[in-house]
A and B are shown apart, each in its own frame.
Chain A
Amino acid sequence: AQTVTQSQPEMSVQEAETVTLSCTYDTSESDYYLFWYKQPPSRQMILVIRQEAYKQQNATENRFSVNFQKAAKSFSLKISDSQLGDAAMYFCAYGGLIQGAQKLVFGQGTRLTINP
């Protein structure tokens, strides 16, 4: 079964520094998508970055970038120049064929605190 593991329940970083959130997943599929979502106290899940498994190039969105290691089934998120507004729960998600249907499976989340 496809699972997503975020081994860091909580992380903290000083404002303006860089932080990396870890995510590993398990799948036997070759085509799939990986996502990082941010959930601030407002509760809305906001898509931060999306990676297609067939693309070797790591996705980047401004200060957010990923390190996608397909063979290792690892998908970490790097946040550069951390800002107070980055404080939130971050969820890693796997999207793809699961038991014959396209589904999205989430990790348990990492709570990121930004220290001023």
Chain B
Amino acid sequence: KAGVTQTPRYLIKTRGQQVTLSCSPISGHRSVSWYQQTPGQGLQFLFEYFSETQRNKGNFPGRFSGRQFSNSRSEMNVSTLELGDSALYLCASSFGPPGTEAFFGQGTRLTVV
């Protein structure tokens, strides 16, 4: 069974640009969660999608958004990029609720210059 796949692995963007990251969950998993990982803040929850609906959202500005498609694949978008958005963005999928299990992808390393 294939694991969680995140694309792209690396991204370099300029301040003010926008970016879209993609996550394909494990087959059969309908819950997809996104996390931002930085050295200073650790792992911070961004949002969770289930059956194309956002169920939960963390404390991030509205520049961070996401969506989920009918095949459970998810995308997150960050608009008007700031230097502080440089981070590793991790996606996790689960069959049950995210608090019961989470399987992670390899992440997308975003660098904003």
Which A residues form the contact surface with B (CB < 8 A)? 32-33, 35, 37, 42-47, 50, 91, 93, 95-98, 101-109
Contact = CB atoms under 8 A, between A and B. Distances in A.
In terms of DSSP, what is the predominant structure of the interface of chain A? Answer: strand
B87 to A, nearest CB: 11
Contacts of B42: 106-109
Q: Which 10 A-B pairs have the closest CB atoms?
A: A102-B97, A95-B99, A102-B99, A45-B104, A106-B43, A44-B106, A101-B56, A96-B99, A108-B42, A43-B107
B26 to A, nearest CB: 12
Interface string B72-113: 000000000000000010101000011111111111010000
A8 to B, nearest CB: 14
B55 interface: yes
Nearest to B58: A103
Interface residues of B, number: 22
A91 to B, nearest CB: 7
Interface of B: 33, 42-43, 45, 48, 55-56, 88, 90, 92, 97-107, 109
B90 A45 contact: yes
B54 to A, nearest CB: 11
